[in-house]
Structure 1
Amino acid sequence: MKNTIICALLATFSVSTAIAQNKSSNQPNVIVIVSDDAGYVDFGCYGGKQIPTPNIDGIARRGTRFTDAYVSASVCAPSRAGILTGRYQQRFGFEHNTSNLVAPGYKITDVGMDPSEQTIGNEMQANGYKTIAIGKWHQGDEPKHFPLKRGFDEFYGFTGGHRDFFAYKGARTNEHALYNNNEIVPESKITYLTDMFTDKATSFIAENKDKPFFMYLSYNAVHTPMNAKKDLMERYASIQDTGRRAYAAMMTSLDDGVGRVMAMLKQQNLDKNTIIVFINDNGGATVNSSDNGPLRGMKGSKWEGGIRVAMMMKWPGHIAANKTYSKPVISLDILPTAIAAGNGKRKGTKKLDGVNLLPYITGSNKKTPHEALYWRRGVAAAMRENNWKLIRVKGRLENKEVENVLLFDLEKDISETTNLALKYPAQVNKMLGKLAEWEKGLDKPHWGSSYGGKNQIMKHRMETTGRDMERMYP
C-alpha cells in the first residue's frame, strides 16, 4: 500500500513537472529594449552609414523592421508611460515630462504614473513571468512610483530622466542615484552606465534561464550628457564635430550592449524562445548631434522627426526574417503583443489603445492595425490616418489666440514640406473632428510643462526649419 502511494505521488509529481515544463516552453521570454533620443537614420538598418550598429541591425535582419513606427509622445517620460501601459498616457493625465507645475486638485506626490494603471510588468507577472526593469525609469520619484511597486520583481537603474554615465564626483540627487532594487549603488562602484545595464541584463538572463522572464531594458543612451568612453572616442577620431564623435561612441556602446544580450541568449539556448522588441523612445534630440535624416523636426515636436522612430521585432520561428512592415504601428502595441506571445490573459480592465501586432506582421490579418493614431502635448496635437498627417496647434501667443492647422500627405511628402490644409479643407475638417472626439476620452494633464505653450506654437510653424531653429524652442 505504501509503495502504491509513493508511486502515485511520483506519478503526480512527474505529470505536474511535465505540465510546468510545457507551460514554460509555451511562454517565450520577452525583452523590450528602449534607446533614448537616437536619430531615425543613425541605425544602419534605417540608412545610417557613419556609425556601425550591427547588433541592433541584426534584430531587423532576423525579424521585422517597421518603417512607420511611432511613439505616443515626442518626449521621454510620457512616451515611456505609453510603452509601459499600452494606453495613450493622456488618458491618465501623463501628458508632459514630469515637472513641479502641479495642476489644481493634485499634489507634487501625484507627479508620475497613476498607480491605478497596470503596467506591462504587472501583466507579465500575472502570467507567470519573472520581471525586471533596467535603466531609465522616469515615471515618478515617489515610493508609490518605484518600479518594485509597479510590476517589477527587480529594478536596476535610476528614477529620473537622465544622469551622468560615469560616476558623480560631487553631490547628486536621489533621482540620479543608481538603484539595485532598494539599495543605492555607491558612486565609487559606477564605471560606465551603458555597460553596467548590460551586465545586469546578461546576469539576469543567466540566472533565470529555466523560467519565463520579461525584461524592460531601458538604456539612457544616447541621451545627454554626452559621456563617451575614451577608447571609442579615439575610434571615431575622423569625425571632426566633437559632439557627433561622442554621439557615435555612445551609440557604439549601446550597440555593443545589445550584442552582449544577444550573445547571452544564444549561450543559454534561449535565443529561439525569446521575442525581442527594439524601439527608440522619441525622435533625435536637438542637443545630442543625432540625425533624423529625411524626417522633419526633432524631439519635442509633432513633426515626423519627433514621433516616428526606429522599431524592430524578432522571434525565430514565429516572425519571418528580414521583412519590413509599412503600415503605421505605435509603441502602445508592445504590451498586448507581449501578452499574446506568452499565450497570456490581461490582468487590467481598462481599455488598451495598443493591439497585438503578431497577426499583422505574420500576414494572417491583412487589415491595418490602427484606423488612426493620435498625439497631444499641451497646445500641440496631431493625428495620422492612412497617409494623411494633421498637426493642430492652438494656444495663446503674445496675448492673442493662435490656431494653426497643417496637413501633409506622407506618402508623397515624408519631410512635411508642403502644407495642404487650404487645398483639402474637407480632409482637414474630417480629421479635426476625429481628433476632437479622441480628446474627449483624455484626462486633463495632472501637471504642466516647464517649457510652456509658446515653444510648441513656434516649433510647428512652417518657417521653423532645421536643428538650429528648433533648438530655440525646446
Structure 2
Amino acid sequence: MGYADLGSYGARDIRTPNLDRLAREGVRFTDFYANASTCTPTRAGLISGRYQQRYLLEAPLGANGAASSAGRGLEASPYSLPRLLKSRGYATALFGKWHLGYTATQSPNAHGFDTFFGLKSGYHDYWRHNDSRGQPDLWENDTPVTVYGYTTDLITARTVKFIEAHAAEPFFIDVAYNAPHWPFQRPETPSVAANNARFVKPADSLTSSRADYVAMVERVDRGVGEILAALEQQGLTRNTLVIFTNDNGGEWLSDNTPLFNRKWTTWEGGIRVPAMARWPGRIPPKQVTPQVGITMDLTATILAAAGVVVPAEAKLDGVNLLPLMEGRTPAMERTLFWRAAVGAGIMRAARDGEHKIVVDGDHLFLYNVRRDPGERTDLARSRPDLARALRLKLESWEAQVNAEAATRR
C-alpha cells in the first residue's frame, strides 16, 4: 500500500474512516519504515524481531514448488514472536498471508501460531485462492481447504470469530491482509479470467485501474472496522493494543506522495510506510510523531506490552516504542539499514537521524529525508564527510549480518 493511501496520510480518493479512526484515537508515525522493500523479508523481521539478512531472506519466496523457494524460509525458533507470547499464556493466531516458507519447520504453527488460516505464498487469486502456479493456496493450519469468498472478507471473518472465542484470555492476532497486493481484483465481482492471479503492468492491453485498487483498500478498511467493533462488543477496547502498518511501499497503482519511487527499491517510496497504534488509556489520542521506527520495533513493542521477559538469546534488533507512544519518553535518534535485491542488482540504504544514504550500483546519494522526503536534493557533493560516515556504518552493519548469515548456509 502507498504512503498516501489513507485519509490520515493525505488520501483524497480513498475512504478509510476506520483506519483514520485508529490514527485519531492513538499515535500516527510520519517516519516509519518496513524492514525491507518487499514482503518476505519484512515479515521475517516481524516474526524474528531482527534484521532478516541474518536469515538469508532478502527477496520474496516464489510459490510453493518454485525453484526460487526451494529450501528457503524462516526456520522455527523458540524466540519467534508468537512463541514468546505463548510463553506468557497468549492464544496466538495468524489470519492472512504467511510467505515465510512451505515446509513443516517453516510453517506458522511451527513458529507458535495456534491457529492459521490464509495463504502461504506471496499472493493468490482473491476468489479462487490459487497461487501464481495455479495451485490451491488456502490453508487451515497445514491442511489445504476450499472456502468460498473474497480473501479479505475471509480474513476479517476469521479474526472476528477468534476474538469472540478468546475474549476471556490474552490473545495475539496477526491480521495479515494480502490486499491491496496484486492481482488487483475488486471485492464486488468474482474472478472469471483463466489466469487472473498475476501482476498486470500499466502497458498491458488488459490492465487494472486505480479504481480497482481503491476498492481493495476500502474493503480492508471495512474489515478493520468490523474487527474494532468486535473488540468493542467484547469489552476489550481499552485492554487491546491495535497496530496497523504494511510490509513495503506501494506499487504502480498506489500513491506514495510525497515519497520517491516504489516497492522493491530502497528509496523512501519503497520502504517508508504508514504506521499507527491505539491503546486507549495507555497511548494518548491525536498524536503525530516523527519518531523513526521500523517493523522489527513492533516485535519488541508487542512483547513489552504483553509483559514478556525476552531471553537474551533472542537478540532482538528492534526497540520497544511503547514508552514513546505513551508519551513517557521523547523521540530518540535511530540508525537503520536496508539491503534489497532489485532485479539482478542490489540496493542499499542507511538512515541516521534525519539523513539517509542510498547506494544504487556505483552511485551513492545523500539526503536529508526529514526536510526532503522526496529525495530530490542530493547532498553528497556538499557533505562528502557525512556520506562517507554513513557508508562506513552501512559497511560495518553488512559485515556483521553477513557473518551471522554465513553460519546458516
Aligned to 2:138: 178
Q: Which one is further off, 74-83 or 342-351?
A: 342-351
**Alpha-carbon displacement from aligned partner over 1:316-362 (angstroms, at most 9, x marks no partner):** 10000010111211111111111111222125613211111011222
Q: Report the secondary structure of 2:32's partner residue.
A: strand
Q: In the alignment, is the contact (CA less than 8 A) between 2:125 and 2:131 conserved in 1?
A: no
Equivalent of residue 70 in structure 1, options 14, 19, 33: 33
Q: In the alignment, is the contact (CA less than 8 A) between 1:123 and 1:347 conserved in 2?
A: no
Per residue, is there more helix in 1 or in 2? 1
AA in 1 matched with 2:235: N
Equivalent of residue 361 in structure 1, options 325, 336, 341: 325
Within-5 A mapping of 1:319-338: 319-338=283-302
Q: Report the secondary structure of 1:383's partner residue.
A: strand
**Alpha-carbon displacement from aligned partner over 1:216-255 (angstroms, at most 9, x marks no partner):** 01000000011112379xxxxxxxx951111111111100
Change (3 A) 1:357 1:63: same
Change (3 A) 1:248 1:80: same
Give the distance between the partners of 1:367 and 1:75, measured in 2 at CA.
Answer: 27
Within-5 A mapping of 1:60-459: 60-99=23-62, 109-116=70-77, 118-167=79-128, 176-186=136-146, 189-230=147-188, 243-286=209-252, 289-347=253-311, 349-368=313-332, 370-378=333-341, 379-394=346-361, 403-443=362-402
Give the drift of 1:115.
Answer: 2.8
Give the distance between the partners of 1:72 and 1:55, measured in 2 at CA.
Answer: 25
Aligned to 2:202: none
Q: Report the secondary structure of 1:377's partner residue.
A: strand
AA in 2 matched with 1:314: R
Change (3 A) 1:170 1:302: closer
**Alpha-carbon displacement from aligned partner over 1:359-389 (angstroms, at most 9, x marks no partner):** 1222322250x53011012421100111111
Change (3 A) 1:386 1:207: same
**Alpha-carbon displacement from aligned partner over 1:199-224 (angstroms, at most 9, x marks no partner):** 00000000000000000010000000
Give the distance between the partners of 2:67 and 2:140, measured in 1 at CA.
Answer: 30
Q: Report the secondary structure of 2:127's partner residue.
A: coil
Give the distance between the partners of 1:165 and 1:431, measured in 2 at CA.
Answer: 43
Give the distance between the partners of 1:292 and 1:166, measured in 2 at CA.
Answer: 27
Q: In the alignment, is the contact (CA less than 8 A) between 2:97 and 2:178 conserved in 1?
A: yes
Q: In the alignment, is the contact (CA less than 8 A) between 1:109 and 1:142 conserved in 2?
A: no
**Alpha-carbon displacement from aligned partner over 1:258-315 (angstroms, at most 9, x marks no partner):** 00000000001011110000001110012xx111011001000111000000000000
Q: Report the secondary structure of 2:297's partner residue.
A: helix
Q: In the alignment, is the contact (CA less than 8 A) between 1:383 and 1:391 conserved in 2?
A: yes
Give the percent of matched residue pairs that are identical in Structure 1 and Structure 2: 37
Give the distance between the partners of 2:71 and 2:208, measured in 1 at CA.
Answer: 40
Give the distance between the partners of 2:88 and 2:131, measured in 1 at CA.
Answer: 43
Give the drift of 1:56.
Answer: 0.8
Q: Which one is further off, 132-141 or 410-419?
A: 410-419
Change (3 A) 1:344 1:92: same
Equivalent of residue 21 in structure 2, options 54, 58, 81: 58
Q: Report the secondary structure of 1:134's partner residue.
A: strand
Give the drift of 1:143.
Answer: 1.6
Q: TM-score by structure 2 length?
A: 0.89
Give the drift of 1:79.
Answer: 0.9
Q: Report the secondary structure of 1:381's partner residue.
A: strand
Change (3 A) 1:54 1:307: same
Give the distance between the partners of 2:398 and 2:133, measured in 1 at CA.
Answer: 39
Q: In the alignment, is the contact (CA less than 8 A) between 1:85 and 1:117 conserved in 2?
A: no
Count of residue pairs brought into register by the alignment: 382
Q: In the alignment, is the contact (CA less than 8 A) between 1:126 and 1:347 conserved in 2?
A: no
Change (3 A) 1:212 1:117: closer
AA in 1 matched with 2:357: L
Give the distance between the partners of 1:430 and 1:293, measured in 2 at CA.
Answer: 29
Long gaps (5+) in structure 1: 1-37, 103-107, 233-240, 395-402, 447-474
Give the distance between the partners of 1:182 and 1:53, measured in 2 at CA.
Answer: 33
Give the drift of 1:182.
Answer: 3.0
Q: Report the secondary structure of 1:195's partner residue.
A: helix
- For the aligned residue pairs, the C-alpha RMSD in angstroms reads 2.1
Give the distance between the partners of 1:51 and 1:371, measured in 2 at CA.
Answer: 32
Long gaps (5+) in structure 2: 191-206
Larger radius of gyration: 1
Give the drift of 1:173.
Answer: 5.0
Give the distance between the partners of 1:92 and 1:48, measured in 2 at CA.
Answer: 36
